[in-house]
Structure 1
Amino acid sequence: MAAHDLGRTASAGSSSDAKNSSKEEISDVPQLDNVEATLKRDYVDHRLNDPNMETEKIDQVEATLERGDYKAEVQLEEELEEDSPYPEVRAAVSNVDDHTMPVMTFRTWVLGMLFTIVIPGLNQLLSYRFPTLTISSFVTQLLCYPMGVFMAKVLPEKVIKTPFGSFTLNPGPFNVKEHTVITVMSNVTYQRAYSSQIAAVQRVTYGYDWGYGWILMITLSSQLMGFSFAGVFRRWLVWPAAMIWPGNLGNTALMTALHRQVDVGENHMSRYKFFMLSCLGAFCWYWFPGYIFTMLSTGNWFCLIAPDNVVLNQLLGTQQGLGLIPLTFDWTQVTYVSNPLYTPWWAEANVLGGFVVAYCIIGPILYYNNVWNTAYLPFLASGTYDRFGKKYKVAKVTTPDHLHFDPVGYNNYSEEYFTISYSMAFALSFAAITAVIVHVVLFHGKQIVQQLRSSYDDEKDVHARLMQRYPEVPKYWYAILFLITFGLGVGGIQGWDTGLPVWAFIIAMILGFFFMLPVGVVLAISNQEVGLNILSEFIIGYMKPGSATGMMLFKTFCYMIVYQGLSFTGDMKFGHYMKIPPKDMFVAQVSAIVVSSFVVLGVQEWVFSNIKNICTPEAESNFTCANVIVFGTASQIWGLIGPAVVFSPGKMYGKLLWMFLAGALAPVIVWLIARKWPRSFIRLINVPVILTGTGLIPPATGINFTSWALIGFVFQYLVRRRRTGWWTRYNYIFGSALDTGTALAGVVIFFTVVFPQGKNQAFTQGNWWGNTAQYETADGLGTPYKQLAAGESFYPAPKDFRPAPVH
């Protein structure tokens, strides 16, 4: 029911006699005080801490409570229990459940394991190639549907009896719960295992290999430890209705379209038909920006007006510029940050505000005034540079075996310099770490404490109520999983000369556990995640510099406990929405991770054994391992050299450490203002989202944020308010269709025309202007504002360098 409809209902019978007469009419309703407490808790108390709750609905509930209209109060409470109070969830998630549907069937295991093996294996293989491609879980979700339907038609229905019980290969029509579990098994595994890069870097950068067994232990430990923590936090991140997890709504909408193929109204197209037509359109269109006419993707049209004008290219460019005019026709560019049709508009507005202030105002002021010598470097690029404006040559500041830091070489060569975008990224990341803690304590602390004291039975949300039918996963399951993963982690760290002591490993676990709840709360309401990768590099670099492998291990565990743990938690919420028994979800998720870990590491072993010149410019089929090279460089910069030579007080970037304090103070200011004026827009300001929303810059550029925010404004603000019916029926279906069609087109393009042709691309290697002009501009070349002559540096001589500390 829309907010204005609720208003009309609540105002019925609100005359001066309404209070007494209504109370008499419903005198048989038990625990009326509990009804009022529930409304106050689920609506009124959410004014400050829940930006997804509609202000109009809160106002209506407040008015009803103030009038004492008991009949209207009961009716509102009943409506709250009938469906989610959030229109996003109502539009994408069914509020009914068929508990008789079979879940862990033969079809579920066959298709689940098929995609658990194939998709992660392909993604791991493609990750070494440039350009790379990631096959998302949307592809799995779409492809497994006809396969499941086909199996339901051809498999025998005969019941097979075994000593362990009876089962059938075909329990009936392929259902939505089977489909959900298969999708979840793919969703938790489709991205390559982060830890696999450690073994790759050891081979490529440092020239040694500890074998398959070692990296398997590390991978299983780092991939599953976060899941054991997810079990602890599910009462805060899964059960409450306020934790809507916007990123799941596309999956749930697609499930509804595929399994409930009914017309949504007499004069409206069915969701299934709308999805198929939109998906087909996205598939056909992506051939143009993705292969035939790539200028449609990069979109730096205005740079062609003056291709050598550096300032114009830096402001309007889309490859190493701000992309202030969002003219791209590539859905992958628009969704690089996240899908704008899923993310709430208030969150998109916060991210856009952070981008404008940090990168469109502060960044250019610092850059064009040459603060930190940034004007000699590209405006927007990752990595570090030397005093000659060139990429930093780490080999010059490490010993010949590249295993130790060489302070003499450092002083003779150059300090490390960051581009202005990279410097801003560090500043925002430092501030986001403290901001997310303070924000969650101030805005959500009361609810966190209340949730700690409550039980699953206290949840009034319809989805939680429906899920009460299914037993929860016993806590000891998560405890056993933690002990196993902890043992594997200690074994991998102690059994080899990793340079990481157990106490540092425990600190990584504690940090991951500590940040999982605050980061999860922000992610669950905004679709924006605070990453711990920079923080983890920073901490281990100070705690124990000089060990590249130790740094990589610490970073992997600290970062992946939160990232993978929240990935599991998000899938728990997906299962919660689709009414999957929690025990089945646990078994499916753990099984998928274990199998996929063997697969991705096996693929890595095959790649390094069979592809000639792997991870070099001469590699066959462009298997140049860009991600591995970047990961290895980071291990040297933050592991061997360490952050002390860059961020310590007195060093060039030492002042950035003040951002930790700034991040802690900013949410306090917003909270105080919001408490003073709770009905103002201030309550929608979310400091962690502002600070972390632009965390993908670099390598993301301005076009990824301006186009994303523009599409988000159109659909999540204008369409939602002016075409509410269309938005409710089709918004999330449209988003999932564009994701799916584009992903399928990317797969087909890669395997039919890109991969077979290797380096001799018909359209991308100088064939015509539409695929080359964008790279012949100052934007495409990354030309800096200030130019250096050959051999010139922006520091006159090495003697002017401050001495580097020796560890």
Structure 2
Amino acid sequence: MSVDEAPISIGSDNEKQQVVVDALAFVDLDDPNIDKDDAIAGILEDDSPYPEVRSAVANTDDASIPCGTLRAWVLGFIWAIIVPGLNQFFFFRYPAVNITGTVAQLLSFPMGRLWANIVPNWIVFGIPINPGPFTIKEHVLITIMATVGSQSAYATDIVAVQRVYYNQTFNFTYQWMMVMSTQMIGFSLGGVMRRFLVQPPSMIWPTNLVTCALFNTLHAQTYAGIGTRGGISRGRFFTYVWLGGIAWYFFPGYLFQALSYFTWVCWIAPENVVVNQLFGYQSGLGMSLITFDWAQIAYTLSPLASPWWAEANVIAGFITFFWIIAPLIYYTNTWYAKYMPMQSRTSFDNTGASYDVSKIITSDNQLNITAYEEYSPLFLSTTFAISYGLSFASITSTIMHALLFFRKQIWTQARRSMNEQPDIHARLMSKYRQVPEWWYMSIFVAMFIFGIVCIEVWPTDFPVWGFVLALIIAFIYIIPIGMIQAITNQQIGLNVITELIVGYLIPGRPLAMMMFKTWGYITMYQALQFASDFKLGHYMKVSPRTMFWAQVAASALSGTVQLGVQAWMFSNIQDICTPQQKDGFICPNTQVFGTASIIWGVIGPQRQFSAGQVYHSLTWFFLIGTICPVVVWLLQMKWPNSWIRYINFPVIFNGTSLIPPASAVNYVTWGIVGFIFQYVIRRRHFSWWTKYNYVLSAALDSGLACSIVLIFFCLQYPRNGTIGENNVLTWWGNTVFINTADGAAAPLWTVNGTFG
């Protein structure tokens, strides 16, 4: 081991004593992930206090390893064009395919190796074209550039909805400035908050551990882990599982889709509505318990990445609200529930049909009050309505939880420098030049000006004070939501609360509603996405300044590429965003976004949640969310070492926030797999778990991602999905789960006229 690779050692007795003091202070924090004795031992051994981190991240660094090379920048820019461009193209198509960061991580590896082997070792203007072997730090930088803007920018939906729903086509300058502002303001805030969300060792960011394990496996780094080193290597283990995952997904993903929707109870009684509502996966509550599809199991996130106590909170919330409360509400016909499916992502009118917003808006997309009163109020399925209530509770519980449980850590981190962190990784990173705060603030000021220009120069009907309020909401929630996500792997969303606020403050302005929601929600989301990437660079010892410029450049490039792809599509694809589009470019996400702009921006929340309206009782969840963390805090004060310390109400309320469009199967099987690996195997076979758990997760995710791409481009995209439509796609194994009351989303009662 070279001097550069050696961990920072604890030398003198005074240094050791100070480390012990810091360790004791660290384990005194309210952190359910910490085991006090194990944490102190880890710190004294110059390693992370957390075994999860020790199993996936090496506690060494070689600062001489090349990182920001010409090769890394060129490959990073290539992937920052390919991945966002393809994802934006398929974003408007149904069915779509999503090119994940894992695909870029895997495919950029042989590209880097190929560059190292065939490109001449020339030096041009003092810059080596081929700096030698492809390094792990270059690979990290390329992957971050590929993923930082890989998903469709939220603001591109505003542009699409303006064109499709409101016949507004503002020029490219407006579109570009809005996309840059919504994406980059979050980056600047995430950078400012890194003292709280990146540097502390308790901010684990569990998903990054899977990514780190894959990097170390691909590059055959010095063993990063604890426990025995016996058994097959991580690299061979990854290869076997990855190849098996690619091959297996062809069955639940294409050849035998009943393995994915394994509603075996519903197959026995396909026409029994109650049985299908309880045991179904598509419109039911998922009590059949089984699926053989990793895409279903890991729909929310990999169950092998989150700590078990956090997964237990999610499952407790799911069982309480969706297996106990939802049936009670449904079968007592509360909110006229029996006239609708138990679970649906659709909104309904008083005949049980999908709500037709075209009946209640004028030609200039304003609410026609008379038509609304003659037509119908808007009704939601039981699980959809409960999800709104849980969103309300999660917002207030997050603030209360942060005030009660995080205040000590926030105060400590506000005063602590990086080299004072009780964590080897922070001390290793303190050797690198840090990014000055004014760099982030400069981006914030520039993007703030972009936002003001968009609002004021073009007719958006969005007041500047609304823009400022949206940013304030995002700013308030970044630290509490970020700390919860970094510890539990669960992110609380601001999309519902921003829709509710703007619907009351600025009624009747759908474009203003979309802008408020985007700046309020996506600013926070992007800040945490960048914080997560910062932590990945922190774990892999990538220079912070190199990370900064890579993220800025890739974000600007990916947003520009996405707008260019979208503009080309609307100019060259006939009938785009219409139901009759022959190639499947029917824009399902744009339809959802546009309908939401009408429901929240035109109809308004006052016609759903105000006093006297159908769903007014859901507003009590704001109070419930405020009280519950206080109760847990008081109980924990009395019994500090009991199981009560693991109760986290923001996670309980928000863990099931993806319902809809997620369904029960995505949580039930996720919890079962999480229990097996994160509780049983971790406790009984810890050496196996620490060596293979995160590699297994990376291999399953990678195999799934590659298989989805192969199936889509080889079997679904050609001939617009008609391959096999008369044989493999119509046999029993691909239709049995559809030909049930669950597949038909059947309600318990048939409407005779109207209800409500």
TM-score (norm 1): 0.90
In structure 1, the residue matched to 2:383 is 421
Note the 1:749-788 alignment, pairs <5 A: 749-763=711-725, 767-788=730-751
- The number of equivalent residue pairs is 743
- Residues 748-777 of structure 1, C-alpha deviations (whole Å, 9 max, x = no match): 110111000214241588521111121111
1:393 aligns with 2:359: no
> 2:419 is matched with which residue: 434, 444, 457?
457
Q: How far apart in 1 are the matches of 2:579 and 2:603? A: 26
Aligned pair 1:594/2:594, yes or no?
A: no
Residue equivalent to 1:72: none
> Among 339, 362, 370, which residue is 2:302 paired with?
339
Cα offset, 1:719, TM superposition = 0.9
Q: Helix, strand or coil: the match of 1:719?
A: helix
Q: Does residue 329 of structure 1 match 2:292?
A: yes
1:437 — aligned with what? Answer: 399
The code of the aligned residue for 1:223 comes to Q
Shift of 1:109: 1.1
1:203 corresponds to: 163
- Is 2:342–2:381's contact at 8 Å kept on the other side of the alignment? yes
SS at match of 2:737: helix
Residue 731, structure 1, aligned to residue 697, structure 2? no
The 5 Å alignment of 1:464-475 reads: 464-475=426-437
Residue 50 of structure 1 pairs with residue 67 of structure 2: no
- In structure 1, the residue matched to 2:527 is 565
1:130-145 alignment to 2 at 5 Å? 130-145=94-109
Please name the residue that 1:19 is paired with: none
Preserved contact between residue 542 and residue 642 of structure 1 (Cα < 8 Å): yes
Instruction: For 1:624 and 1:253, locate their aligned partners in 2 and report how far apart those are by CA, in whole Å.
Output: 39
Match of 1:287 among 250, 256, 264: 250
- Match of 1:410? 372
Please state how far the C-alpha of 1:188 moved relative to its aligned partner: 1.0
2:195 corresponds to which of 213, 230, 235: 235
User: What does 1:286-685 align with in structure 2 at a 5 Å threshold?
Assistant: 286-402=249-365, 404-685=366-647
Alignment of 1:247-286 (within 5 A): 247-260=207-220, 267-286=230-249
Q: Secondary structure at the match of 1:321?
A: coil
Q: 2:672 & 2:19 partners in 1: Cα distance? A: 41
Which letter maps to 2:155? S
* Deviation at residue 32 of structure 1 after TM alignment: 6.8
| Alpha-carbon spacing, 1:99–1:27, altered in 2? closer, same or farther (3 Å) | closer
User: What SS does structure 1 have at the residue aligned with 2:127?
Assistant: strand
Q: Tell me the residue number matched to 1:129.
A: 93
Distance 2:584 2:354 in 1: 21
Cα deviation digits, residues 505-534 of structure 1 (max 9, x gap): 000011011111110000000000000000
| 1:184-233 deviation per Cα after TM superposition (whole angstroms, max 9, x unaligned) | 11121111111101111112212221132211111000000001101221
Could you report, residue by residue, the CA deviation over 1:68-101 in whole angstroms, capped at 9, with x for unpaired residues?
Answer: xxxxxxx77522xx11011110111111101001
| Residue in 1 that maps onto 2:755 | 794
**Aligned ranges for residues 107-256 of structure 1 at < 5 Å?**
107-160=71-124, 162=125, 166-256=126-216
- Per the alignment, residue 84 of structure 1 pairs with 48
Q: 1:386 to 1:77 in 2, by over 3 A?
A: closer
**Aligned with 2:663 (options 693, 701, 712):** 701
1:167 is matched by which residue type in structure 2?
A: I
Alignment check: 8 A CA contact 2:278 2:285 kept: yes
Alignment of 1:30-69 (within 5 A): 30=14, 34-43=18-27, 45-46=28-29, 49-54=30-35, 57=38
Task: Give per-residue Cα distances to partners, 1:5-30, cap 9 Å, x unaligned.
Answer: xxxxxxxxxxxxxxxxxxxxx99722
1:22 maps to none
Contact 1:199–1:215 (Cα < 8 Å) also in 2? yes
Q: Secondary structure at the match of 1:621?
A: coil
Letter of the 1:51 counterpart? P
Counterpart secondary structure, 1:661? helix
The 8 Å contact of residues 326 and 383 in structure 2, kept in 1 or not, is answered as yes
Deviation string, structure 1 residues 42-62 (Cα, Å, up to 9, x no partner): 22x13xx2111126647xx6x
Q: State the Cα RMSD in Å.
A: 1.7
What does 1:7-46 align with in structure 2 at a 5 Å threshold? 29-30=13-14, 34-43=18-27, 45-46=28-29
SS at match of 2:512: helix
| Letter aligned with residue 210 of structure 2 | G
| Structure 1 contact 205–632 (Cα < 8 Å) conserved | yes
The answer to whether the 8 Å contact 1:291/1:764 transfers is no
Q: Kindly name which structure, 1 or 2, has the bigger radius of gyration based on alpha carbons.
A: 1
In 2, the alpha carbon distance for the partners of 1:681 and 1:262 equals: 37
Residue 425 of structure 2 contacts residue 539 of structure 2 at CA under 8 Å; is this kept in 1? yes
**Structure 2: gaps (5+ residues):** 1-9
**Offset, 1:235:** 0.4
**1:397-425 deviations in whole A, cap 9, x for unaligned?**
211232x1111111111111111111100
- 2:68 alignment counterpart: 104
CA distance in 1, matches of 2:58, 2:372: 61
Kindly indicate whether the alpha-carbon contact (under 8 Å) linking 1:325 and 1:706 is maintained by their aligned counterparts in 2: no
Alpha carbons of structure 1 residues 613 and 719: separation in structure 2 relative to 1, 3 Å: same
Show structure 1 runs of 5+ residues with no match: 1-25, 62-74, 796-807
C-alpha distance in structure 1 between counterparts of 2:36 and 2:655, whole Å: 24
CA distance change for structure 1 residues 57 and 620 in 2, over 3 Å: closer, same or farther? same
CA distance in 1, matches of 2:101, 2:608: 40
8 Å CA contact 1:261–1:270 kept in 2: the answer is no
Q: How many Å apart are 1:460 and its aligned residue?
A: 2.2
Q: Distance in 2 between matches of 1:355 and 1:298?
A: 19
User: Any conservation in 1 of the 2:42–2:49 contact (CA below 8 Å)?
Assistant: no
| Separation of aligned partners in 2, 1:767 and 1:752 | 18
Q: C-alpha distance in 2, partners of 1:262/1:650?
A: 65
Q: Which amino acid aligns with 2:190?
A: A
CA offsets, 1:593-645, max 9 Å, x none?
10001111111112112222211221122111111000000000001111011
Q: Distance in 1 between matches of 2:590 and 2:274?
A: 33
- 8 Å contact 1:127–1:625 — kept in the other structure? yes
Counterpart residue number, 2:680: 718
Q: Partners of 2:293 and 2:570 in 1: how far apart?
A: 33
C-alpha separation in 2, matches of 1:262 and 1:273: 15
Give the SS at the match of 1:288: helix
CA distance in 2, matches of 1:451, 1:111: 36
Task: Measure the CA separation in 2 of the matches of 1:77 and 1:715.
Answer: 26
- Tell me which amino acid in the other structure corresponds to 1:306: A
More displaced 10-residue stretch of structure 1: 27-36 or 207-216? 27-36
Would the aligned equivalents of 1:261 and 1:272 in 2 still touch at CA under 8 Å?
Answer: no
**1:665 Cα deviation after fit:** 0.7
Question: Any conservation in 1 of the 2:43–2:424 contact (CA below 8 Å)?
Answer: no
Give the whole-Å Cα distance in 1 for the aligned partners of 2:140 and 2:358.
49
Point out the more displaced range, 257-266 or 95-104: 257-266
Q: Distance in 1 between matches of 2:652 and 2:96?
A: 29
Supply the distance in 1 between the matched residues of 2:12 and 2:104 (Cα, whole angstroms): 51
Separation in structure 2 between the aligned mates of residue 31 and residue 394 of structure 1, nearest angstrom: 68
Q: What displacement does 1:591 show?
A: 0.4
